[in-house]
Amino acid sequence: MRRNDELLREERSARSQFENAMRANNDVIQSLTNRLARAEEKAAEERNAISSLVSHTKSVEQAVLGSQQELLSRRDMQNAK
């Protein structure tokens, strides 16, 4: 009888330790999941920002090319006079 009580206590203790370890593991998994979600959100924001910068850069390049063409046309017209 005494041995059975001791075995039950050991089993309860082992079960309690296992449950605590599982809770800790679940907490770590949840924390990592949250961090991953935040990292993915930031990556998406950065992709959008880069896309906007590329689009703006292309617009500026087109404006510069247009200005260059206009200046070349004016120069050619002045040289033709």
Distance CA 42, CA 35 (A): 11
Q: Which two tokens stand for residue 41?
A: 């959100």
pLDDT at position 51:
98
Tens digits of residue pLDDT in 4-63: 889 999 999 999 999 999 999 999 999 999 999 999 999 999 999 999 999 999 999 999
Q: Does the model's pTM come out above 0.75?
A: no
Residue 50: alpha-carbon gap to chain centroid: 13
Confidence of residue 2 (pLDDT cuts 50, 70, 90): confident
pLDDT at position 36:
98
